[in-house]
Structures are given as C-alpha cells and as structure tokens.
C-alpha cells in the first residue's frame, strides 16, 4: 500500500507573522527544509533525510533526491505535484508562511526596493541534488526557447561541498558538452534511435572527474549529465529541461522528458530539438578551461584568518546568481557584511547566526524542522551579521546564495 502523506498547506497568510519574524530575527528569518522528489532518478542518500522517508511520497512520485533552498519556485513535477512542492516556508514560533508570499507582499523589506524594482522578485533557485548515479544528458533551454512555452531559460552552476561528499556514489563523473567536430547529423542519428535502447549520445561527449571543493558554470543550451556527487546548484528560478539521452544505467528515459518544455507542434521536429543546442558552446575545444571553477578568496586569506574566518566565492562570473562558502574557525566570532540579500545553508558545525541558534543536523525526518537554513534580508546583510562558532574544535561552515545583480560578485575569473 502506498504511504499517504498530507499535502503541506500555507498555515497562515497573515503579514503579521512575516513582520514579527523579521523583527525578532533582526532581518534574518528561519526556513523549513524543502524536499523535492524526482521520478526518473535514484536518490543518493546523503542529504541527511532519514532513509525511511526517501520514498515517503510514494514510489510513483520517485525518491527524494533534492533539497531546495530559499525557494519561491514551484517544482515542475507533473500532474501529481503538490501545490507547495518546491516552495520554502518561513517558520516562526510554530507558524509558517511561504517565502514566496513574504517577498510578494513585503519584497522591499526582504530584497530592497532597488532589487524589487529591477527584478520584481527573488529570481533564484538553489538546491542540493544527490543521486546514486548520473542524470541523463540534457540541457536547459535559452530564454528564446523557454519563452515559447511560457517560461524562462536557465543557466546554472555547480559546487561540490566537501562536507556532503564523504562518498562518491556510483559515477562521480559528468559528461559535458559535445566533442569538437560533432555535427547536427551525429546528434540527429541519436534522436532517431531513441526507442532502440542506448541512443549513443555519450559517444559524442567527454566525461570530467568531479572534485569536491570545485565547481562548474553551465549555460543554457549546453548538454550535461551530472554525476553522483552531492551538488550545490544556484540557478535561475526555472525548471525547464530537455533530456537527450534515451537510456541511463539501464533505465529508459521517456521521450516525454525530451519534449517536456517544447511546444506540442514540435514534439517530433528533430530540427527544432537540434536548434535548442548552443553548438559553439557545446563543441568548445577548451570547454573545461572555460567552465571549471576553483573557489577564490574574497580577501587576502591571512587577513581573514587574523579575524577568525575564511570566505570564498564558489560561484561567480555570471550576473544571474553568485555564491560564497564561509568558514568560521573554532571558538571565533565574526561580523560579515554583504551587498545583497541571501539564503544560507549550514554544512558543518554549530553556533549562532545573528539571533538564531544554528546546528548541522545528523538525520532529518520528512516534515521535521531544522536549524540549518536561514534567509538574510538586504538590510541585515549590509549592516552585517554576527556569526559565532560555539565549538572549540570544529569549523562552522555555510554556503550563501545570492540572486541576480550582487554588485560584489566577481565578473571574471582571477588571472
């Protein structure tokens, strides 16, 4: 018998809760874990969700292999998707309100009036995804192609947090792009063989060994088949994709997942499907050189160490999003300022962030509240947030994800 789980619903729309949470946290609010299943993937079991709950939504929905952060984006998981699937909740003294609603009704307080005027909202989706094996070779549409189905394109970035990658799982490699010289006819033949088992598209691509503590930038139109490391993934808030691989680890990929975000009249138009690829980017002979990123310190490491911390940019160069990794050393306290609002997820240690106690959970039951995720408003970020590591032996480590237009984010890689 399939387990039944009640849909979570917004418990209150009272703006009083939003303002009380902001006031009590001095511009920092606590967020509840947001779990998302994927029916076509196998969960890797490293997101700290209790193993008993990996399939709590039912086998027909698939295992839970993603945790979304500071999300105002509903998951696109087909007709069975819950009304609030993929949406983050602010939690305050047992009351909950959607972050999406909070930003829609009090966006100036969360993001700043300048960002709301420019962007109209948060416009960021950030997640951990964790799979036992690889994801099928796929792309995310550009704005041009996504607009044809009423959505927007999606660039995305990857960072592999060491704290979650204590185990590589089955395939810690990612195929990216296409070999230089690959032609439209090569990929066309792969699509024509869709129902013949493995369509062979990976014969035209190169796999890169994934390294914890490094990352990648993947623009729209670029094929990629993410491997089995736990991946921290800031991206534009869109859930568009198109799968171009027909068989992965012996499991068939339905044609529906290739044309999920394609106008119906083009569902069997191979030229249209080939046009969605960015051919220059896919066949770049220096693909790795241009898209592999190592963290870069935000300031001289010696000076930061004197103050008890180290902070690095782990996602940068694109105007759409950026991310940092902050480490506060044992027994130290530091006040960090930022130029924009951000969400954060704790990956190691315990202590305090502003008025909030924080701790990295060991095991989480589905629906259980945790103390590892927060949202920091623009004013709080600019005024500075005090972060204290209460351990005398272990680092406190967190990841910070920023929406579009962070003025402090580097626009190029260090020379």
d(CA 381, CA 373): 15
C-beta of residue 69 within 8 angstroms of C-beta of residue 122? no
pTM: 0.93
Quick one: pLDDT at residue 8?
A: 41
Percentage above 90 pLDDT, the chain:
93
d(CA 335, CA 279): 45
Q: pLDDT tens digit string along 8-41? A: 444 445 789 999 999 999 999 999 999 999 988 8
The residue among 264, 293, 322 that closes a domain is 293
Structural domain includes residue 7: no
What is the spatial order of strands in the sheet that 292-293 belongs to?
34-38, 63-69, 125-129, 231-235, 156-159, 215-218, 292-293
Q: CB within 8 A of 249, min separation 6: which ones? A: 133, 134, 170
Classify burial at 307, counting beta carbons within 10 Å of its beta carbon; exposed 0-12, middle 13-18, buried 19 or more. middle
Q: What is the mean pLDDT of residues 241-248?
A: 97
Name which residue leads in pLDDT, 78 or 244: 244
Structural domain includes residue 254: yes
pLDDT at 3 over 60: no
- Domain range holding 306? 296-402
Quick one: pLDDT at residue 76?
A: 84
Query: What is the distance, to the nearest Å, from the Cα of residue 198 to the centroid of all Cα atoms in its chain?
Result: 29
The residue among 267, 293, 319 that closes a domain is 293
Q: Which of 306, 369, 319 is nearest to 33 (CA)?
A: 369
What number of CA atoms fall less than 13 Å from residue 40's CA on the CB side?
19
User: What is the rounded average pLDDT for all residues in the chain?
Assistant: 95
pLDDT at 195 over 80: yes
Do 84 and 154 lie in one domain? The reply is: yes
Do 252 and 301 lie in one domain? The reply is: no
HEC profile of 69-93? ECCECCCCCCCCCCCCCCECEEEEC
Query: What is the distance, to the nearest Å, from the Cα of residue 382 to the centroid of all Cα atoms in its chain?
Result: 24
Q: How confident is the model at residue 78 (pLDDT cuts 50, 70, 90)?
A: confident
Do 325 and 366 lie in one domain? The reply is: yes
HEC profile of 255-292? HHHCCCCCCHHHCCCHHHHHHCCCHHHHCCCCHHHHHE
Do 230 and 342 lie in one domain? The reply is: no
The two tokens of residue 300 are 């001289």
Do 142 and 244 lie in one domain? The reply is: yes
Classify burial at 306, counting beta carbons within 10 Å of its beta carbon; exposed 0-12, middle 13-18, buried 19 or more. exposed
C-beta of residue 217 within 8 angstroms of C-beta of residue 104? no
Length of the chain, in residues: 415
Task: Note the helical H segments in 295-359.
Answer: 301-306
Structural domain includes residue 409: no
What is the spatial order of strands in the sheet that 322-328 belongs to?
95-98, 89-92, 28-31, 373-376, 342-348, 396-402, 322-328, 309-315, 296-297
The total of other beta-carbon atoms located within 10 Å of residue 51's CB is 9
Structural domain includes residue 413: no
* 192 three-class SS: helix
C-beta of residue 321 within 8 angstroms of C-beta of residue 124? yes
We report the CATH number of the domain holding residue 304 as 2.60.120.10
d(CA 15, CA 21): 10
**Beta strands per DSSP E along 337-376:** 342-348, 350-353, 356-359, 373-376
Do 233 and 323 lie in one domain? The reply is: no
Quick one: pLDDT at residue 239?
A: 85
The total of other beta-carbon atoms located within 10 Å of residue 380's CB is 23
The two tokens of residue 343 are 């969400």
Percentage above 70 pLDDT, the chain:
97
Do 330 and 238 lie in one domain? The reply is: no
Q: pLDDT tens digit string along 308-363? A: 999 999 999 999 999 999 999 999 999 999 999 999 999 999 999 999 999 999 99
Quick one: pLDDT at residue 87?
A: 97
pLDDT at 7 over 50: no
pLDDT at 5 over 60: no
Q: How confident is the model at residue 157 (pLDDT cuts 50, 70, 90)?
A: very high
Cα–Cα separations (whole angstroms), residue 172 to 51, 211, 247? 22, 8, 18
Q: What is the mean pLDDT of residues 131-158?
A: 97
Q: What is the mean pLDDT of residues 160-178?
A: 97
Do 255 and 315 lie in one domain? The reply is: no
Structural domain includes residue 9: no
Helix axes 15-24, 99-111, angle to 10 degrees: 50
Count of domains in the chain? 2
The total of other beta-carbon atoms located within 10 Å of residue 185's CB is 9
Q: Is the dihedral of CA 291, 295, 299, 301 positive or negative?
A: negative
Ramachandran angles phi, psi of 147, nearest 5°: -60, -25
Quick one: pLDDT at residue 77?
A: 87
pLDDT at 119 over 60: yes
């Amino acid at each position: 018998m399939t387990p039944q789980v009640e849909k979570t619903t917004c418990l209150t729309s009272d703006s009083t809760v939003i303002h009380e949470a902001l006031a009590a946290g001095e511009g920092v609010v606590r967020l509840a874990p947001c779990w998302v299943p994927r029916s076509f993937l196998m969960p890797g079991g490293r997101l700290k969700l209790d193993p008993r709950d990996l399939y709590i939504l039912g086998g027909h929905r698939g295992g839970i292999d993603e945790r979304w952060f500071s999300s105002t984006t509903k998951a696109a998981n087909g007709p069975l998707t819950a009304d609030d699937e993929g949406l983050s909740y602010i939690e305050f003294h047992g009351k909950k309100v959607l972050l999406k609603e909070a930003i829609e009704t009090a966006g100036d307080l969360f993001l700043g009036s300048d960002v709301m005027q420019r962007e109209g909202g948060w416009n960021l989706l950030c997640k951990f995804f964790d799979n036992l094996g690889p994801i099928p070779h796929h792309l995310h549409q550009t704005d041009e192609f996504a607009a044809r189905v009423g959505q927007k394109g999606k660039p995305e970035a990857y960072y592999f947090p060491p704290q979650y990658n204590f185990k590589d799982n089955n395939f810690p490699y990612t195929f990216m792009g296409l070999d230089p010289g690959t032609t439209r006819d090569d990929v066309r033949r792969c699509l024509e063989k869709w129902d013949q088992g493995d369509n062979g598209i990976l014969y035209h691509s190169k796999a890169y060994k994934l390294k914890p503590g490094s990352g990648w930038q993947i623009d729209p139109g670029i094929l990629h088949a993410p491997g089995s490391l736990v991946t921290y993934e800031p991206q534009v808030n869109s859930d568009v994709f198109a799968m171009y691989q027909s068989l992965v680890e012996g499991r068939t990929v339905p044609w529906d997942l290739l044309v999920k975000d394609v106008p119906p009249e083009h569902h069997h138009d191979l030229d249209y499907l080939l046009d969605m690829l960015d051919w220059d980017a896919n066949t770049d002979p220096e693909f790795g050189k241009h898209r592999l990123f190592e963290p870069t310190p935000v300031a001289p490491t010696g000076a930061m160490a004197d103050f008890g911390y180290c902070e690095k940019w782990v996602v940068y160069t694109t105007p759409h999003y950026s991310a940092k990794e902050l480490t506060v050393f044992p027994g130290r306290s530091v006040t960090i300022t930022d130029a924009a609002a951000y969400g954060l997820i704790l990956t190691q240690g315990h202590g305090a962030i502003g008025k909030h106690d924080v701790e990295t959970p060991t095991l989480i039951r589905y629906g259980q509240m945790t103390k590892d995720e927060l949202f920091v408003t623009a004013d709080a970020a600019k005024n500075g947030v005090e972060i204290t590591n209460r351990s005398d032996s272990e680092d406190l480590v967190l990841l910070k994800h920023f929406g579009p237009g962070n003025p402090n984010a580097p626009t190029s890689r260090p020379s």
